[in-house]
Each structure stands twice: as structure tokens, then as C-alpha cells.
Amino acid sequence: MRRDARGGRRHTGAARALLYAHAPRWGRALVARLRGRRPLFVCTIAHTDTSRIPGLSAAGATPALRELTPAADAEALYYGRARCLHGVPSNPLGPPGPAIITIAALRLARIPCLVVDAGTRVRPQAPTVLLGERPGACITTGRAVPNAAELFARGRLLGRQLAGCADYLVLAESVPGGTTTALAVLLALGIDATGRVSSSMAENAHALKEATARAGLAHLAPAAVAADPLQAVAAVGDPMQPVVAGLLLGAVGRAPVLLAGGTQMAAVLALARALAAREGMVLGPRRVAIATTRWVLTDPTADLPGLVAPLGTYPVLGTALSFARSRYPALRRYEEFLVKEGVGAGGAAVAATLAAGVTPGQLRRAAERVYERLTADDA
């Protein structure tokens, strides 16, 4: 930050690159501590059969391709494109998925990444840390993730090790249908999340999501969740949630954590906070924040800060990245909220700014180059 002739602050591009949507004072303090430090990006992938309910998810061009989305995102992180499908997972209306942003951000700032498989139907053709072999069932069954406790324990063990590998962790996800499982888990944990979770579609199917969540919650006794918050996941969550909550709690004593995602990460944060409380610990707001995209923060159909507020003064950060001035019509459609977040795109962008001063303009151009390479393959 420099001062101009009138003594006022003239923000550099990097300073303007970040948005502070909740607990901005804590957010700025965390940003100051992490600037120039070395992050490790960890993307946890999972499948939930909840994504098979028609109309819930657009994280994939077709229902059949959506089953491949977690694996394809993981492959794209390593290879710059998927192996099990062409390009990267896309929205049915055409825009490429958020993996193009993540790939661009990690490469620009030379941030290392690892993929964790919490339970998938299709395994990536790429190196992954295998923590669970069981995909999530549909949450309407009320028995979505029976191995939630084991996933949490393994995530925590791994988080302890990974915290020694970096100055801070950026924890991302790829889970089609994940905002519905987030809604259900938030409701199970007593957070008023109705109408507040985001969506992979411009038209957020709030009514369908709520009906789905309520069908699952009917199987769950509130007393069970009070005794063990993992029961919320076991009944109506997805396999990513206990793994990332475990990574967070395993790491946070040794390294700060950015939860890279939208409202799905509010559910992870609520879960981790409840699990810490069960052990008599407080998950303080000094060492954990949510980092997401401008599209999530300005999503007219969702309210991420409103989900985080009842949890505490956890910062919600955002990247100012915009595709409004992109030369590619498909990317400009992000500004219509056709794609908002996923594969930790927002958190990767924030980390790239913190680690290497990457500006939104540089990141847009790098994402365009990733997209160009994918479409050049089509020719």
C-alpha cells in the first residue's frame, strides 16, 4: 500500500484484490500474517448420491458427466485438464467449471497441491490420498455417511502432518450436490440456513434443496447431534465434510487454515466448531477463515456471511476476480452467476494474491489461457 500526494492511501492492485465480507478486522489481521508465506492447497473430493436428484446440481455438463466431476477436477489440478472426460467439468449451459481458475491461480503462484479422496464413485487417474472408499448415499435415506467418524479421524491425522508441510493450508472441495448436504448439516447443527446456501445454478433450487434436506432430517434425532455432531454428517452429510473438518482441526494448532469454498465451507466450519466444543476446545477466529469468490459473495440467492455470523467472528474473504471484461463469452457468463465456486477457486485466488501478489487482472488472463488450451484441443 502506498500513499498518494494527498496523504491518502492508494491501494495497490494486490490490496484491492481481496474482499472482506465478514469480520473484516480479523480478516485483515489474518491476511497480514499470511502474506508472503507458503501455502499448501488440498482439494478433498467426494460423491454424494444426493447429486442424482434432478434439478439440484449443475456441477457437470450432463447428469452422466456429473458423476465424473470430482475425479475430473482432481485430474485437472494435476494435468491442467481432465483425463476421464474432455477439458474440465462444465456447466450444462456451456461455461467451463471453476477448475480453470484454480489451475491458473496455483500455477501463477507456484502453490503445491494435493488431492484427498473422501469417497468417490469414479477414482481420479491421478495421485490422491485415499481416506475413504465409500461414496455418500442420498441424504433422503438418513444414512448418508455411515463412516463419518472414521473419515474425521483420518482427516485429522493427515491434517496434523500436512500442517508441517506449509505455513498455512488452503482446504478446497469438489462435491456435486454439496450445497444441499451443506444445507442439511447446517440445519442439523441448529443453524438457520434456509434459503441461504449457494448453488451451482443461477436459479437456486431452494425449495427442492430444503425438501431434500428435510426428508433426511426426519430420520435424525436432535439429541443425537447434540451428543455427537458427526451424527449430522452420518445422517445427512457428504464424505468431504468430516474429512475437511478433520484436516482443519488436525492442522489448526500448527498452521492457519483457509477454507476454500462457498456455503459448503460454512457447513464444514460449523461442524468443526461443534466437534472442537465437544472436546472442550474453542476454534478461535484468529487461525481460520473462509475464502471464496466474488460470485458467491454477491450471489443474490445466497447469504454466506449470514451463515457464518452465528458461528463467530470467522473472517470471510473473497477474491475480487471478475470475468466481466473477459474476451470469452463463456467466461463472461460467470457474471450471470452460471458458475460461482468449486475446486477451491476463490481460496486459490486469495492464496495466489497472498503468496505472490497476483492481481485479479493477472488471474483473469491466466484463467483465459487455461481455457484457451482446453478449447484449442477441441479444434
Q: How far is the CB of 9 from a second copy (least distance, A)?
A: 33
- What is the Cα–Cα distance from 156 to 33, expressed in whole angstroms? 24
Please check whether residue 156 is in contact with residue 249, taking contact to mean a CB–CB distance below 8 angstroms: yes
149 touches a second copy (CB under 8 A): no
If one asks whether residue 131 binds a second copy (CB under 8 A), the answer comes out as yes
Nearer to a second copy, 113 or 182 (CB): 113
Stretch of residues binding a second copy (CB under 8 A), selected from 155-163, 170-178, 269-277, 293-301: 155-163
Tell me if 127 contacts a second copy by CB under 8 A: yes
Q: Is 189 exposed, middle or buried (0-12, 13-18, 19+ CB in 10 A)?
A: buried
CA–CA separation, 249 and 363 (whole Å):
31
- Of 60-68, 163-171, 210-218, 334-342: span binding a second copy (CB under 8 A): 163-171
162 binds a second copy (CB under 8 A): yes
The residue among 116 and 289 lying less far from a second copy, judged by its C-beta, is: 116
Question: From the list 165, 202, 208, 356, which residue makes contact with a second copy (rule: CB under 8 A)?
Answer: 165
Taking the complex as a whole, the smallest distance from the CB of residue 86 to a second copy amounts, in Å, to: 20
Residues 280 to 339 in contact with a second copy, rule: CB under 8 A: none
245 binds a second copy (CB under 8 A): no
Q: Which is nearer to a second copy, 187 or 355 (CB)?
A: 355
Q: How far apart are CA 141 and CA 216, in angstroms?
A: 6
Candidates 100, 114, 266, 350; binder of a second copy (CB under 8 A) is: 114
Asked whether the beta carbons of 72 and 202 are under 8 A apart, the reply is no
Cβ at position 159, least distance to a second copy in Å: 9
Nearer CB in complex with a second copy: 72/270: 72
Which residue in the block uniquely carries the three cell numbers 492447497?
41
The secondary structure of 322-378 as a DSSP string is: --TT-S-HHHHGGGGTS----TTHHHHHHHHHHHH---HHHHHHHHHHHHHHHHHHH
Q: Which of 34, 103, 166, 275 binds a second copy (CB under 8 A)?
A: 166
Cβ burial of 13 (10 Å; 0-12, 13-18, 19+) is middle
In the chain, the amino acid numbered 227 is A
What's the rounded Cα separation, in Å, for the pair 134 and 141?
Answer: 15
Q: Whole-angstrom Cα distance, residue 357 to residue 366?
A: 14
- By CB under 8 A, tell whether 356 contacts a second copy: no
Residue 118: CB minimum distance to a second copy, A: 11
- Is-contact 169 355, C-beta < 8 A? no
Sole window of 8-16, 158-166, 191-199, 215-223 interacting with a second copy (rule: CB under 8 A): 158-166
Of these, 53, 163, 266, 311, which contacts a second copy (CB under 8 A)? 163
Run of H or E residues at 19: strand 18-22
Beta carbons within 10 angstroms of residue 322's beta carbon: 18
Stretch that binds a second copy, among 156-164, 201-209, 210-218, 280-288 (CB under 8 A): 156-164
Smaller CB separation from a second copy, 296 or 354: 354
Beta bridge partners of 136: 48
Q: Which stretch binds a second copy (CB under 8 A): 114-122, 194-202, 292-300, 335-343?
A: 114-122
**87, 89, 90, 96 alpha-carbon torsion, rounded to 10°:** -50
Q: Should residue 63 be labelled a site residue for a second copy when binding is judged by CB under 8 A?
A: no
Grid cell digits, residue 117? 479422496
154 binds a second copy, rule: CB under 8 A: yes
Chain residues binding a second copy by CB under 8 A are 40, 78-79, 110-114, 116-117, 126-131, 154-155, 157-158, 161-166
